[in-house]
Amino acid sequence: MSGRLILAGTPIGNSDDASLRLRDLLEHAPIIAAEDTRRLYALAQRLNIVVNGKVVSFHEHNENDKADELLDAVESGQDVLVVTDAGMPSVSDPGYRVVSRAIERNLTVTAAPGPSAVLTALALSGLPTDRFTFEGFPPRKPGELQRALAALRTERRTMVFFESTHRIAATLEAMAHELGAHRRAAVCRELTKTYEQVLRGTLEELSSHAATEQLRGEIAIVVAGDTGSAEISVDTLVAEVLERVQQGERLKTVVAEVAQSAQYSKRELYAAALAAKSGVEQR
């Protein structure tokens, strides 16, 4: 009787997010395939548990070579636990290839669900969550980045990206240029950690912030999807705001709602509406 290939989610920052099932698996799994063995033992120490099974290094550079070796163990009747440094295996981390081969070999694959940086960032972004797409790390080369983002201009779903500290400013600048300066977005860094921060605004605003203040740590970018409508002029938006204000609604409330709906900068729309309102009152 064969064993199981078990994918387990590990904390993305706060060790207290480790599930009871993860703790049990780390203590009792006969074989653990870990992206970084040192980090695995450090996690076990923080959780005050002892890893008793055989620990195997399993990362993107040796996944192809190690996959069948691990699956041979599963076929012989042993459970093999796969963990990454943080979050769920195979989500922008090792795991996909070994799962594919396990399915080809008709072996049992299961999961011990856990923390996910993708879902956490999406939930905290304040952007639509009913439909979304995970785009992983954007290309590093400027030309490839430009082409990849251009292909996403009409993507209607909310998009989630990962990015490094050193590339975040350039990526946000490219996103503002290719997806639209007024597209709503959120930059989520150090999620569940002590210095967790979520910055929300337009891509233009977030790009300006990243250009003047270095954003450190693990970073996820969440970008609103394309609304499918043609770009609306600021005059049209201002006219809508003033009409609703004239009917008795509060200026700030209306500006916030209209800006969000049109994916326009709330600050810029407020300033334009205020100037237009002042001009009307002076006539």
Q: What is the CATH number of the domain that holds 17?
A: 3.40.1010.10
Q: What is the pLDDT of residue 281?
A: 57
Whether residues 204 and 250 share a domain: the answer is no
- With respect to residue 229, please indicate whether it lies within any of the assigned structural domains: no
The rounded distance, in Å, linking the Cα atoms of 163 and 99 is: 25
Whether residues 75 and 135 share a domain: the answer is no
Q: Which of 115, 146, 169 is the last residue of a domain?
A: 115
Q: What is the pLDDT of residue 263?
A: 67
Q: How far is CA 199 from CA 74, 121, 125, 207, 223, in A?
A: 44, 11, 8, 11, 12
Q: List 199's β-bridge partners, or say none.
A: 187
Per-residue pLDDT 10s for the chain (283 aa) are 789 999 999 999 999 999 999 999 999 999 999 999 999 999 999 999 999 999 999 998 888 889 999 999 999 999 999 999 999 999 888 899 999 999 999 999 999 999 999 999 999 999 999 999 999 999 999 999 999 999 999 999 999 999 999 999 999 999 999 999 999 999 999 999 999 999 999 999 999 999 999 999 999 999 999 986 545 678 888 999 999 999 999 999 999 888 877 767 788 889 999 888 776 655 5
Whether residues 26 and 111 share a domain: the answer is yes
Question: Is the pTM of the predicted complex or chain greater than 0.85?
Answer: no
Q: How many domains does the chain have?
A: 3
- With respect to residue 238, please indicate whether it lies within any of the assigned structural domains: yes
Q: Which of 115, 145, 163 is the last residue of a domain?
A: 115
Whether residues 244 and 216 share a domain: the answer is no
Whether residues 35 and 86 share a domain: the answer is yes
- With respect to residue 69, please indicate whether it lies within any of the assigned structural domains: yes
Name the nearest CA neighbour of 87 among 121, 50, 124: 121
- With respect to residue 161, please indicate whether it lies within any of the assigned structural domains: yes
Across the chain, how many H-helices and E-strands are there?
11, 10
CA atoms in the 13 A half-sphere facing the CB of 165: 7
- Domain of 33, in residue numbers: 4-115
The rounded distance, in Å, linking the Cα atoms of 224 and 52 is: 45
Whether residues 23 and 84 share a domain: the answer is yes
Q: What is the DSSP string of 12-65?
A: SS-GGG--HHHHHHHHH-SEEEES-HHHHHHHHHHTT----SEEEE--TTTHHH
The rounded distance, in Å, linking the Cα atoms of 97 and 118 is: 20
Whether residues 38 and 92 share a domain: the answer is yes
Whether residues 166 and 243 share a domain: the answer is no
Whether residues 101 and 30 share a domain: the answer is yes
Q: What is the pLDDT of residue 79?
A: 97
Q: What is the pLDDT of residue 266?
A: 82
The rounded distance, in Å, linking the Cα atoms of 256 and 167 is: 30
- With respect to residue 228, please indicate whether it lies within any of the assigned structural domains: no
- With respect to residue 181, please indicate whether it lies within any of the assigned structural domains: yes
The rounded distance, in Å, linking the Cα atoms of 46 and 68 is: 31
Whether residues 266 and 241 share a domain: the answer is yes
